[in-house]
Amino acid sequence: MGAAAAVRVLVVDDSPVDRRVVERLLRTHCGGGGGAGGGEGAAPFHVTAVDSGKKAIELLALRLEGRRRKQLSPSAASDADEQAIDIVLTDYCMPEMTGYDLLKAIKALGSPNPIPVVVMSSENEPQRISRCLTAGAEDFILKPLKTNDVQRIRKCSGDRRCNNVSSSSSRTKTKTKLSPSDHTAKKVATPEQKTSHLAGLLAMVMNASSLEVSVSHYFQFVFKFILIAYAVLCLSQLLHRWSNGSFLSLWSA
């Protein structure tokens, strides 16, 4: 996989003009370069647009269902249209289901890992903005959208993907961190730091799977053994030289 994977955006707006303009804005400004080549370096946007909150929820539920089916049977052919949405960009003022209602529905739909939602509105109302942010919106953007708003949207979707990536890499990190941090826990002066380190260690150990725990314990023992053996050797060397002659001989080879 050379190029960055596309960021899949779901645009929800009852106005056809706004849908078209936002779609073109996202497709053109792929972060930094733009141009007809599309997505050189920065991940391109893959835009799906619907005209109501109801259709948005239906589409999201469908995509989630598709992903679950794919997880159960990975060999099944993956349709590009069935891939999950990375971020939802919704208008606030819509008939029947407002952007705020849609925001709450999406958060309820996707717990524990809900899809990030960015709300747009033509009205600059502080109460509306704080309401949306409190309900869990990643950001609130004023219409009409500008070029630098695309960066904000990219960042909001980027956080989610970083979370997915870091959760898998943090496991490998805990394995290597376990041994040196164990020693640093011993050497640290204050007892509070020691207990917090040990607590952190315990948490890391508990989070890891059973196989990883046994492997990391093994590494711990090996590491300790090697260090102790080395310390013993050094001490014996020192004692030997001390008993043989004066201090000066300690420095000679």
Partner 1 sequence: MAGAALRDQLSALLSSMFSQGLVDEQFEQLQMLQDEGGTPGFVAEVVTLFCDDAERIIAEIATLLEQPIVSFDKVDAFVHQLKGSSASVGAQKVKFTCMQFRQFCQEKSRDGCLMALAVVRNEFYDLRNKFQTMLQLEQQIQAYDHKQQ
* 51 contacts partner 1 (rule: CB under 8 A): no
Please say which residue, 28 or 52, places its beta carbon nearer to partner 1.
Answer: 28
* 82 contacts partner 1 (rule: CB under 8 A): no
Q: What is the 3-state secondary structure (H, E, C) of 18-40?
A: HHHHHHHHHHHCCCCCCCCCCCC
Q: How far apart are CA 164 and CA 157, in angstroms?
A: 11
Please say which residue, 38 or 136, places its beta carbon nearer to partner 1.
Answer: 38
Which of 41, 136, 144, 245 binds partner 1 (CB under 8 A)? It is 144
* 17 contacts partner 1 (rule: CB under 8 A): yes
What 175-184 contacts at long range (C-beta under 8 Å, 24+ apart), as own/partner pairs, is 175/208, 175/212, 175/215, 175/216, 175/219, 177/204, 178/204, 178/205, 178/216, 178/219, 178/220, 179/216, 179/219, 179/220, 179/223, 182/220, 183/223, 183/227
Whole-number Cα distances in Å, 133 to 49, 73, 223: 23, 37, 49
Stretch that binds partner 1, among 17-25, 178-186, 191-199, 221-229 (CB under 8 A): 17-25
Please say which residue, 14 or 182, places its beta carbon nearer to partner 1.
Answer: 14
Site string for partner 1, 117-136 (x = CB under 8 A): -----x--------------
Please say which residue, 29 or 63, places its beta carbon nearer to partner 1.
Answer: 29
* 36 contacts partner 1 (rule: CB under 8 A): yes
Minimum separation from the CB atom of position 102 to partner 1 (A): 17
Q: How far apart are CA 230 and CA 205, in angstroms?
A: 27
* Coil/strand/helix, residue 229: helix
Please say which residue, 147 or 167, places its beta carbon nearer to partner 1.
Answer: 147
* 6 contacts partner 1 (rule: CB under 8 A): no
Please say which residue, 35 or 41, places its beta carbon nearer to partner 1.
Answer: 35
Q: How far apart are CA 41 and CA 35, in angstroms?
A: 12
Binding site for partner 1 (CB under 8 A): 14-18, 20-21, 24-25, 27-29, 34-36, 93, 95, 122, 143-144, 146-147
